[in-house]
Amino acid sequence: MQRRAMLKGCAAAVAVPMFAAACDVLDGSAKAVEELAFDPGAFTVETKTVATFERDKKVTYQFYESVVYVAKPVDKAYQSLSVSVPVEIDGATIDASKAPILLSNSVGGYLSSSVTSREPDDGGARAKNRDLALAAGYVVVESGARGRDLVAPDGTYQGVAPAAIVDLKAAVRYLRHNSGRVPGNTDRIVATGVSAGGALSALLATSGDSGMYDRYLADLGAADASDAVFAAAPYCPITDLEHADMAYEWNWGANPLRPGELDAAASRELSTAFTEYQASLELRGKNGFGRLTTGNYGSYLVRTYLAPAATAYLTALPDADRSSYLADNTWITWAGDRAEFAWPDFLAHVGARKKGVPAFDAFDLSSAENNEFGGGTVEARHFTLFSLRHATGDPAAQLDSDLPEKISMMNPMFFLRQRNPGRAKHWWIRVGTKDTDTALTIVSNLAASLENLGDDVDAAMYWDAGHGSNEDAADFIEWIGRVTGYAG
């Protein structure tokens, strides 16, 4: 409203040329929004060779570097994106003007992330998808965001929750605002990320067009456009943070930590609390499994994700290697064409867990997540009553009053419980079976929540794979083409 009024006043001044310059200066807000226009000519031409499933492909693409996506950035180094548009693949000209857009955030560890320079292919999950998407003729947007390490000269933490998700929403709004100027179909944005970035891609895709972030977006001078995305592909999302300690102890509570001792009493208490949380979600398992509870969740994971992952892995092995794997892992029964095993044996196979107790809201405030929920000039805070009360010894202690809303603003499960209509309806969710950065239930509860809402979910696990793995990138690229209806 306010912006429109200012533009009108400005238009009158522009009619008299001598006032036009003054209008530019006076009407900073309107000018700022104008600055959010994407310049289609501001690219360099780059080439790269991409090893695809079939063969190496030479891709020529237009590269738009360090495009600032908000009018009033706090730090341009992070609040900018890059755009890669394929124009030639193996010598054949291609037109990506209507192609799906793979929007890949580069967040890791909830730290600040920058895309201000050309990133080499580091063999990581993100780089693999980015390069294969380009070679498939899709537009790739890589977005940076502020993170928990960003501190102003006065000591204020500028990138703690909800800064990263606000930035990614601003990036989506920028793309939508520039629909027709920015190459690709801005109604077919597929958000992806890995780990903390996976969590943020899931959050971006579940919270589309929620008004909760409006005041933060307005402060940044974000474009006035929809921030809903079409699809999402979170890899090993570190999410549902305020319930992740309970889930972790239920899942990995019996697994040893190296080195050091685990606080068995705290582990038991957290694990017990998970039963009530899981029940409160009222989720149904896939394929008519019924209500998911801590009583049946182990067998649900085996049946739905773990045994199929083991089966796929073992099926792909040459006979001799399969025999040798099975000889080393006698807890797995190979029933001709599929693997069978029990949940406790799977847990023993995974072995040492990565994190202590509690895994996320550390008693000593030392975790990445404690910092992510810092605020003002305070570097780290508790974000669960369990850890706050345990650490302070005060059974009546309460979270800082600004935290409950911020915690919700960081949690895709919050938006799924609300059935947010602006959420993405197509999902590709992946995690490795040996990834103990968070509980496997975090990932399967995300999938089940979406499935229960009737969304299109392709969720799977990679057998024996650790944190950040991506073992079916070619299938993901094909999936993007299918769900977006893009013929190429």
Question: Judged by CB, which is closer to ligand DHB: 71, or 196?
Answer: 196
Backbone dihedral angles phi then psi of residue 285, each to the nearest 5 degrees = -80, 165
Question: Judged by CB, which is closer to ligand DHB: 103, or 196?
Answer: 196
Question: Judged by CB, which is closer to ligand DHB: 157, or 300?
Answer: 157
Least distance between ligand DHB and beta carbon 373 (Å): 12
Token readout for 90 is 């193996």
Q: Report how far residue 34's alpha carbon sits from residue 223's, in angstroms, rounded to the nearest whole number.
A: 9
Least distance between ligand DHB and beta carbon 165 (Å): 14
Question: Judged by CB, which is closer to ligand DHB: 110, or 415?
Answer: 110
Q: Is 209 helix (H, G, I), strand (E, B) or coil?
A: coil
Least distance between ligand DHB and beta carbon 198 (Å): 8
Least distance between ligand DHB and beta carbon 443 (Å): 13
Using CB positions, name the residue nearest to ligand DHB.
195
Please report which helix (H) or strand (E) contains residue 164, including its range.
helix 163-177
Question: Judged by CB, which is closer to ligand DHB: 255, or 329?
Answer: 255
Least distance between ligand DHB and beta carbon 356 (Å): 12
Among 279, 239, 245, which residue's Cα sits nearest to residue 386?
245
- The dihedral over CA atoms of 176, 177, 179, 180, expressed in degrees to the nearest 10, equals -170
Least distance between ligand DHB and beta carbon 372 (Å): 8
Question: Judged by CB, which is closer to ligand DHB: 125, or 134?
Answer: 125
Least distance between ligand DHB and beta carbon 8 (Å): 46
- Within 13 Å and on the Cβ side, how many CA atoms surround 150? 23
Question: Judged by CB, which is closer to ligand DHB: 55, or 258?
Answer: 258
Question: Judged by CB, which is closer to ligand DHB: 195, or 411?
Answer: 195
Least distance between ligand DHB and beta carbon 370 (Å): 10
Q: Report how far residue 168's alpha carbon sits from residue 141's, in angstroms, rounded to the nearest whole number.
A: 11
Among 107, 66, 387, which residue's Cα sits nearest to residue 234?
107
Sort strands 139-143 and 189-194 into parallel, antiparallel or unpaired: unpaired
Question: Judged by CB, which is closer to ligand DHB: 100, or 356?
Answer: 356
How would DSSP label each residue in 26-84?
Answer: H-HHHHHHHTT---TT--EEEEEEEE-SS-EEEEEEEEEEEEE-SSS-S-TTTSEEEEE
Question: Judged by CB, which is closer to ligand DHB: 167, or 437?
Answer: 437
Q: Is 318 helix (H, G, I), strand (E, B) or coil?
A: coil
Distances (CA, A) of 220 to 10, 25, 209: 22, 19, 16
Least distance between ligand DHB and beta carbon 468 (Å): 7
Least distance between ligand DHB and beta carbon 383 (Å): 13
Q: Is 483 exposed, middle or buried (0-12, 13-18, 19+ CB in 10 A)?
A: buried
Question: Judged by CB, which is closer to ligand DHB: 174, or 235?
Answer: 235
Measure the CA angle with vertex 207, ends 203 and 211; round to 5°.
135
Intra-chain end-to-end CA distance of the chain, in Å? 40
Q: Report how far residue 14's alpha carbon sits from residue 17's, in angstroms, rounded to the nearest whole number.
A: 6
Question: Judged by CB, which is closer to ligand DHB: 110, or 476?
Answer: 110
Is 50 within 8 Å of 88 (Cβ atoms)? no
Residue ranges binding ligand DHB (CB under 6 A): 108-110, 195-196, 238, 368, 437
Token readout for 445 is 């509860």
Least distance between ligand DHB and beta carbon 369 (Å): 6
Total residues belonging to the chain: 488
Neighbours of 193 (CB within 10 A): 31
Which residues lie below 8 Å from residue 146, measured CB to CB, with a gap of 6+? 74, 75, 78, 79, 112, 158, 159, 163, 164, 167
Among 463, 431, 453, 452, which residue's Cα sits nearest to residue 287?
452
Least distance between ligand DHB and beta carbon 210 (Å): 23
